[in-house]
Amino acid sequence: MRAYTLTSPDGPDGLTLRDLPDPTPGAHEVSLEVRAISLNPVDFKTGRGKALYGSLQTQENLILGWDVSGLVREVGADVTAFRPGDAVFGMVNFPGHGRAYATHVVAPAAHLAQKPEGISHAEAAAATLAALTAWQNLYELADVQAGQRVLVHAAGGGVGHFAVQLARERGAYVIGTSSGSKRDFVLELGADEHVDYEQQRFEDVLEPVDLVLDSLGPEHLLRSLQIVKPGGRLMTIAAGLSDTLQERAEWKTVALNHHLVKSNGEQMAAIAARLADGRLRAHVSQTYSFEQLPSALRELEGGKAQGKIVVEV
């Protein structure tokens, strides 16, 4: 197989395309011929020596990436859910060693789901880590209910554009923040209200909300806390919770969550069902070839992507 190994923590410049032996699946695993790879901020953060780099740097061949869609090539002895030739997708081995920046990937069968027939491999790969992150925060942890006011920061990005749709499906009143250039996109996803962060401070113009999903970091958490109702919830996927934030949230009786997404094939199957019937859609803004993967990662690192960036293999 061909794979990009991270030879130094220098982001895209640290990636080297190499020929490596094809991986062999264990008893509970499948091997995939990869058709599409989705990129996430955790990729470039790990590539620059942050995020998961500390736990992965001792790997002989450190291969970034976790989001894949492809065809089953071989199944392990104990795998019954999939057969060779099946089209599957998922976020594999997160937060471990995903090894997705490759033409072939071995993954636990329990991390995968059947790809819907009407969805491309690029769209399927896009609806993995980002969609699972939104799902686990909004459905599993917060259990969003109809009528609740939900504020999604970076609503035009990877996690954000799935969060808007999932909250809307539950009947929540959804507010999305983004740049003005993504306003129409955010509203088309189902948001009821939009705030252009370049023109307004959201805490100055919004009524109190029941839930905030943040992906931007400490400053936004402190600002967001100002508009969460007592008894509400403030959730982040971007940063830890400072002592100051925890003290202020406790005083206001606001629940705090910092959740790291985990691979889950059952939830992937629920996402697949929504992709199949149109309740959920993955927006792929740009596609790159496998040979252009470092350039795709640089584009993502620029922070302006709408929806998802995908590499087609």
**Contact yes or no for 35/124 (Cβ under 8 A):** no
Question: Does 266 fall in a domain?
Answer: no
Residues 54 and 102 in one domain: yes
Quote the CA–CA distance of 87 and 89 in Å, as a whole number.
7
How much is the average pLDDT of 232-261? 93
3-class DSSP state of 39: coil
Closest listed residue to residue 313, CA positions, set 31, 44, 32: 32
pLDDT tens digits, 53-81:
999 999 999 999 999 999 999 999 999 99
Q: Write the pLDDT tens digit of every residue in 166-195.
A: 999 999 999 999 999 999 999 999 999 999
- Tell me the C-alpha distance between 210 and 221, whole Å: 14
Is residue 270 situated within a structural domain? no
Are 8 and 25 contained in the same domain? yes
- Cis status, amide bond into 230, omega within 30 of 0: no
* Residues β-bridged to residue 105: 32
- The β-bridge relationship of strands 308-312 and 29-38 is antiparallel
pLDDT for 98 beyond 80: yes
pLDDT over threshold 80, residue 239? no
Say if residue 189 is in the same domain as residue 226. Answer: yes
| pLDDT over 90 at 273, yes or no | yes
Crossing angle between the packed helical segments 218-225 and 243-252, to the nearest 10 degrees: 20
pTM reported for the whole predicted model: 0.97
In a domain, 83, yes or no: yes
The residue segments making up the domain with residue 191 are 130-258
Q: Is 239 in the same domain as 294?
A: no
CATH code for the domain in which residue 30 is found? 3.90.180.10
pLDDT tens digit string along 11-45? Answer: 999 999 999 999 999 999 999 999 999 999 999 99
